[in-house]
Amino acid sequence: MKADKTGNIVTGITQASGRRHHITIVSETFPPEINGVANTLRYLCLGLMRRGHRVTVVRPRQSHESKSEFHAAVEHLFSREHVVTGLPLPGYGELRFGVCRPGYLAALWSRSRPDAVYVATQGPLGVAAVSAARSAGIPVTSGFHTNFHAYSRYYGAGFLEKLLCGYGRWFHNRTALTLVPTRKIAETTADMGIHPTCVWSRGVDCNRFSPHKRDMALRQQWGLRPNDRAVLYVGRLAPEKNLQMAVSCFERIRGLHPNARFILVGDGPMRKRLAERHPDYILPGTRRGEDLARHYASGDIFLFPSKTDTFGNVVTEAMASGLAVVAFDDAAASEHIRHEDNGMKASLPDDEGFVDHALRLADQPTLMNRIRAQARLDALELDWAAQIDQFEHLILNQPPRNHFNAIKQQGIPLL
């Protein structure tokens, strides 16, 4: 195993030993909650269980919990959940953070010792899990799923950004390895002083998300005629998603194409204000499963204005659904979108370029349709199985943390 100069470990994707392992996933958010972290963990856990591993989940109690198909699948495959106390996350009332003593987890793991622990979130539950795993000598890996330090500027608390960066550095550097979703995030975490890291990307379910699920009746409900443009956004309706950029972009599109419609799928603190200021926008709320896939496939242009996402699963879901994505050259777009080939992307500071790209798609149906077709073809290559392969290898075949310290002391560059 070797590492490059930014702390990112360079490793081949190889099958683990083939032995059935016990892997514990610790997260403050988990299905049936709807967000990028929960979505990623859903595919991760199911993929690991299909390989025969025993997967145990430690998570907070969610508000209004109910059984879901996912939980039924977990039970069927003999995996277990340990639910701890959950309290509302400020600014994200529907999400909760976990409260748990390290001693509780240490006792739990002394009775049923995991071969590896993966901590997906850096809240109080994550801190307790890292402490318990370290004290028990269990290999522990963390994931950098969310740019919380960058969120602070969107909530009037930009002065906390350095403090949050310091906290993130402390948290992740207590684990043997931090998994990041893109090469750009590897650079960001290196700048924060987090090391070592390894890029672990995301797949997309191309059976669920498919252009074949386009629903003309739904488009008619949206008030569209056959050649009208459906501009789509899917995600949290919140300030950190840069939604004002999406609104400005759509209004420019509508100035040239009055029959275009803007459909914003999701929920969040901005929903009420959007509904009041733009009563003509279509706000269907949170959609799941096949209904979500139908909404994706019924769109034409997908706007992803976020500048804070670490990945953005919605980008690859939109590609799989055959949409023409407009995004900034960051997160998933930086990895998977080739400008004017399978999508459109603008540099991070270039808001006007973002709008211009969307206008070109709206004005040039031939370009839009070519990009939509190529996006679907490229999404078919983004298989979750390869990502599960890599995850399995990384968390089950990592050297102890002092191995990485020895590499640094010997002058071998880390990413």
pLDDT of residue 119: 98
Average pLDDT of the chain, as a whole number? 87
Question: Where residue 8 falls among pLDDT bands split at 50, 70, 90?
Answer: very low
What is the pLDDT averaged over residues 274-292?
A: 97
120 and 9 share one domain: yes
Q: Return the number of other C-beta atoms located less than 10 Å from residue 216's C-beta.
A: 10
Q: What's the whole-model pTM score?
A: 0.86
What is the pLDDT averaged over residues 272-291?
A: 97
98 and 10 share one domain: yes
Examine residue 304 and state whether it is found in any structural domain, yes or no. Answer: yes
* Backbone conformation region of residue 310, classed left if phi is above 0, alpha if psi is from -120 to 50, else beta: alpha
Q: Return the number of other C-beta atoms located less than 10 Å from residue 316's C-beta.
A: 27
pLDDT of 289 over the 80 cut? yes
Q: Are the CB atoms for 231 and 300 separated by under 8 Å? A: yes
What is the pLDDT averaged over residues 56-74?
A: 67
Q: What is the CATH number of the domain that holds 291?
A: 3.40.50.2000
The domain containing residue 275 runs over which residues? 211-379
Examine residue 414 and state whether it is found in any structural domain, yes or no. Answer: no
290 and 164 share one domain: no
359 and 400 share one domain: no
Question: Where residue 4 falls among pLDDT bands split at 50, 70, 90?
Answer: very low
pLDDT tens digits, 185-236: 999 999 999 999 999 999 999 999 999 999 999 999 999 999 999 999 999 9
Higher-pLDDT residue of 68, 102: 102
239 and 253 share one domain: yes
Lowest mean pLDDT among 16-25, 97-106, 237-246, 398-407: 398-407
162 and 177 share one domain: yes
Percentage of the chain exceeding pLDDT 90: 75
Examine residue 415 and state whether it is found in any structural domain, yes or no. Answer: no
Q: Are the CB atoms for 315 and 326 separated by under 8 Å? A: no
pLDDT of 280 over the 60 cut? yes
25 and 155 share one domain: yes
Tell me how far the alpha carbon of residue 315 is from its chain's centroid: 10
Task: Tell whether the torsion through CA atoms of 186, 55, 62 and 384 is positive or negative.
Answer: positive
Examine residue 52 and state whether it is found in any structural domain, yes or no. Answer: yes
396 and 295 share one domain: no
Q: Which residues of 80-109 are buried (b: 16+ CB within 10 A; e: fewer)?
A: eeeebebeeeeebebbbbbebebeebbebb
361 and 399 share one domain: no
What is the pLDDT averaged over residues 246-269?
A: 97
42 and 80 share one domain: yes
185 and 223 share one domain: no
252 and 190 share one domain: no
Domains held by the chain: number: 2
pLDDT of 102 over the 60 cut? yes
pLDDT of 149 over the 80 cut? no
Higher-pLDDT residue of 413, 119: 119
